[in-house]
């Protein structure tokens, strides 16, 4: 008697194709407008400044200010800033984040699928997570590219991720990269890269300002660890650089102040003006809170910061690059990602 052998793993007729299971890594940065124009900036700012994680003011109070004043006046000014740093590849932040994803993919090989997204603007987190799941990624490591944790950055990424997952019937398993502000791999990468750039300068700086993105002081009082994370990064970098550059004094400051509320102190602009006024003639700035160069480093620091320093009497001035997709930064990122993927690959 003949016997029919069946494949228990065979899919029934008409069953949707199922991709082989993969592991994904999604790099996420803050965001950027799609073009250096006032309408594009207005769209971006409307999304960014509507996030209650970013502006912790009751909506009934904030909405008239946002839509009646800010979105009518700020886009043109911000578009001018973006236009000064826009590249052939578009936004510097988007171009560098894409380059970081490509470099990490090359380092990781076929073990994982690497992609990137923005919290505000495009490509959106939910869109890329859905695409990765469609490509077979049943396990995804989300990497907020913020060394220091803040509710306005890291937590907001998780909010957007949750919104995306809420719309998915078949969700992937998720892991998230912890803040790495004091991770030895991060500090070593910063020190290695900053040392390389300092040694290549055409002048010997007297002072280096470590400039972090500012936050309202109220966030510290409410329990946000961001200020403490920034201060620890700065202290560890200063301690590691001291033996290599014994004549370099290092100061910490906070940039990008907005509105009338009290912000974290001291202000970067204030520090630049005060240093020049008291006789500092050569100064460099580094921004160890940014994983990639963006309008805040390329325009606010490199252009406006230079103007403030020069106007107050300073001479030699330079802004050092962020880790970007350079060797030191990518080696660090690979180390962090491989650590978090243990047991998955």
DSSP state of 87: B
Kindly state the tokens that stand for 251: 């100061």
121 touches 154 (CB < 8 A): no
How far is 306 from 283, CA to CA, in rounded Å? 10
Confidence grade of residue 273 (pLDDT, cut at 50, 70, 90): very high
Q: What is the pLDDT of residue 259?
A: 77
The alpha carbon dihedral of 291, 294, 295, 299 has a sign of positive
Assess if residue 96 is contained within a domain. yes
> What is the pLDDT averaged over residues 276-289?
98
> What is the pLDDT averaged over residues 185-207?
98
How far is 45 from 24, CA to CA, in rounded Å? 29
209 and 243 both lie in a single domain? yes
Assess if residue 1 is contained within a domain. no
Percentage of the chain exceeding pLDDT 70? 95
How far is 96 from 292, CA to CA, in rounded Å? 6
Q: What is the pLDDT of residue 39?
A: 97
Kindly state the tokens that stand for 167: 């719309």
**How many other CB atoms are found less than 10 A from the CB of residue 121?**
21
165 and 276 both lie in a single domain? no
113 touches 172 (CB < 8 A): no
Q: What is the pLDDT of residue 111?
A: 87
267 and 172 both lie in a single domain? no
The alpha carbon dihedral of 257, 259, 263, 269 has a sign of positive
Q: What is the pLDDT of residue 10?
A: 67
Q: Is the pLDDT of residue 224 over 70?
A: yes
Please tell me whether residue 100 adopts helix, strand or coil conformation. helix
Whole-model pTM: value is 0.93
> What is the pLDDT averaged over residues 270-274?
98
What CATH code is carried by the domain that includes residue 270? 3.40.50.1400
Opening angle at CA 214, ends 154 and 250, nearest 5: 110
How far is 98 from 95, CA to CA, in rounded Å? 5
**Region of 235 on the Ramachandran plot (φ > 0 left; ψ -120 to 50 alpha; else beta):** alpha
CA distances from 297 to 83, 288, 300 (A): 14, 11, 6
Q: Is the pLDDT of residue 26 over 70?
A: yes
Kindly state the tokens that stand for 234: 């700065």
Assess if residue 30 is contained within a domain. yes
How far is 131 from 125, CA to CA, in rounded Å? 10
Opening angle at CA 271, ends 44 and 146, nearest 5: 40
The tens digit of pLDDT for each residue in 132-176 reads 999 999 999 999 999 999 999 999 999 999 999 999 999 999 999
29 and 156 both lie in a single domain? yes
Assess if residue 48 is contained within a domain. yes
176 and 212 both lie in a single domain? no
> What is the pLDDT averaged over residues 238-254?
97
Assess if residue 2 is contained within a domain. no
Assess if residue 168 is contained within a domain. yes
The tens digit of pLDDT for each residue in 87-129 reads 999 999 999 999 999 999 999 999 899 999 999 999 999 999 9
149 and 111 both lie in a single domain? yes
Q: What is the pLDDT of residue 146?
A: 98
> What is the pLDDT averaged over residues 284-288?
98
> What is the pLDDT averaged over residues 184-200?
98
291 touches 153 (CB < 8 A): no
130 touches 164 (CB < 8 A): yes
313 and 201 both lie in a single domain? yes
Q: What is the pLDDT of residue 15?
A: 63
The DSSP string of 51-83 is -TTT--S-HHHHHHHIIIIIHHHHHHHHHHHHH
Opening angle at CA 305, ends 205 and 323, nearest 5: 70
Assess if residue 17 is contained within a domain. no
Selection from 146, 102, 132, 103 nearest residue 23 by Cα: 132
Confidence grade of residue 260 (pLDDT, cut at 50, 70, 90): confident
Q: Is the pLDDT of residue 3 over 60?
A: no
Q: What is the pLDDT of residue 8?
A: 57
299 touches 79 (CB < 8 A): no
**Partners of 82 in beta bridges:** none
29 and 144 both lie in a single domain? yes
Q: Are strands 316-319 and 22-31 parallel, antiparallel or unpaired?
A: unpaired
- Work out the burial of residue 21: count CB atoms within 10 Å of its CB; fewer than 13 is exposed, 13-18 middle, 19 or more buried: exposed
Assess if residue 3 is contained within a domain. no
Of 17-31, 109-123, 162-176, 266-280, the poorest mean pLDDT is in 17-31
69 and 126 both lie in a single domain? yes
Q: What is the pLDDT of residue 13?
A: 72
166 and 29 both lie in a single domain? yes
Confidence grade of residue 261 (pLDDT, cut at 50, 70, 90): confident
How far is 130 from 135, CA to CA, in rounded Å? 9
Kindly state the tokens that stand for 142: 């989300």
68 and 116 both lie in a single domain? yes
**Domain assignment of residue 151, given as a range:** 22-180+328-340
155 and 226 both lie in a single domain? no
What value does the mean pLDDT of the chain take?
A: 95
User: First vs last Cα of the chain: how many Å apart?
Assistant: 47
Domains of the chain: total: 2
């Amino acid at each position: 008697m003949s016997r029919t052998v069946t494949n228990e793993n065979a899919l029934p007729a008409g069953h949707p194709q199922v991709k082989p299971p993969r592991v994904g890594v999604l790099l996420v940065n803050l965001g950027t407008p799609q073009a250096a124009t006032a309408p594009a900036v207005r769209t971006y700012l409307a999304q960014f400044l509507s996030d209650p994680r970013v502006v912790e003011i009751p909506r009934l109070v904030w909405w008239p200010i946002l839509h009646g004043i800010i979105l009518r006046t700020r886009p043109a000014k911000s578009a001018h800033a973006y236009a000064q740093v826009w590249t052939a590849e578009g936004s510097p932040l988007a171009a560098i984040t894409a380059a970081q994803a490509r470099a990490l993919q090359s380092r990781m090989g076929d073990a994982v699928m690497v992609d990137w997204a923005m919290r505000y603007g495009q490509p959106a987190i939910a869109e890329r997570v859905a695409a990765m799941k469609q490509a077979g990624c049943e396990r995804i490591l989300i990497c907020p590219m913020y060394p220091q944790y803040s509710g306005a950055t890291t937590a907001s990424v998780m909010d957007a991720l949750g919104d995306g997952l809420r719309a998915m019937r078949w969700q992937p398993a998720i892991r998230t990269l912890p803040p790495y502000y004091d991770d030895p791999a991060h500090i070593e990468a910063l020190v290695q890269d900053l040392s390389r750039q300092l040694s290549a300068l055409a002048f010997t700086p007297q002072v280096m300002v470590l400039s972090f993105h500012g936050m309202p002081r109220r966030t510290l009082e409410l329990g946000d660890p961001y200020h403490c994370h920034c201060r620890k990064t700065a202290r560890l970098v200063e301690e590691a650089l001291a033996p290599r550059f014994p004549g370099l004094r290092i100061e910490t400051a906070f940039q990008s102040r907005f509105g009338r509320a009290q912000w974290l102190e001291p202000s970067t602009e204030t520090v630049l003006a005060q240093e020049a006024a008291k006789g500092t003639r050569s100064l460099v700035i580094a921004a160890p809170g940014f994983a990639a160069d963006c309008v805040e480093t390329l325009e606010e620091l490199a252009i406006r910061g230079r103007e403030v320093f020069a106007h107050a009497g300073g001479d030699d001035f330079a802004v050092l690059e962020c880790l970007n997709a350079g060797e030191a930064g990518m080696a660090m990122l690979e180390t962090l990602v491989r650590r978090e993927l243990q047991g998955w690959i």
